[in-house]
Structure 1
């Protein structure tokens, strides 16, 4: 279901099918990147980061977008704003496919 600003809502699903959080974005990948940045298992570098499977259900549909996600911490750039912390979390995702749920 698309909002007036063009963004769509995606619910993060756990393995039991419970929807714990909602992320918005113009594309499913944008929402997956937001979800990936909040992963608990964050590596010291992109190479050291562990992959985690994310399932995002598009609100208003039966589509579940499946991603492999990983996140790592990096030092913030020198020209960062004053409010930004010294370390930032970066993330990347790789789409594994779409499945349709029947509930």
Structure 2
């Protein structure tokens, strides 16, 4: 279901079917990137292990499936004062869409 600002809500589904977190975004990929940034980061992108992320679009039976990974990276030189020296970067790859029968 689309909100007035155009964003949609996506619930992160665990294997048991529980949905402990909700991420919003204009697209499923945007929400998946937010979810991937919460993964345990690897020291570099090459060392990162992928994790399956299943995001159900609220109000529908669609489950967007992504492979996500996160890593630590040094902050840019022109970073604002409040930003830490090391930041978490993330990436995702879409694996498909599933439909739940509940």
Tell me the equivalent position of 1:53.
52
Once residues 50 and 99 of structure 2 are traced to their aligned partners in structure 1, the CA distance between those partners, rounded to angstroms, is 23
Once residues 3 and 88 of structure 1 are traced to their aligned partners in structure 2, the CA distance between those partners, rounded to angstroms, is 30
Count residues with an aligned counterpart: 102
Once residues 84 and 20 of structure 2 are traced to their aligned partners in structure 1, the CA distance between those partners, rounded to angstroms, is 26
Deviation at 1:48, TM superposition (A): 0.5
Once residues 82 and 13 of structure 2 are traced to their aligned partners in structure 1, the CA distance between those partners, rounded to angstroms, is 32
Superposed structure 1 runs of 4+ greater than 6 Å apart: none
Once residues 19 and 39 of structure 1 are traced to their aligned partners in structure 2, the CA distance between those partners, rounded to angstroms, is 16
SS at match of 1:47: helix
Deviation at 1:31, TM superposition (A): 0.2
Once residues 31 and 61 of structure 1 are traced to their aligned partners in structure 2, the CA distance between those partners, rounded to angstroms, is 16
Tell me the equivalent position of 1:3.
3
RMSD across aligned positions (CA) = 0.5
Once residues 20 and 97 of structure 1 are traced to their aligned partners in structure 2, the CA distance between those partners, rounded to angstroms, is 21
Deviation at 1:88, TM superposition (A): 0.4
Q: With the length of structure 2 as denominator, give the TM-score of the two structures.
A: 0.98
Unaligned runs of 5+ in 1: none
Correspondence 1:26 to 2:22: no
Deviation at 1:24, TM superposition (A): 0.3
Q: With the length of structure 1 as denominator, give the TM-score of the two structures.
A: 0.97
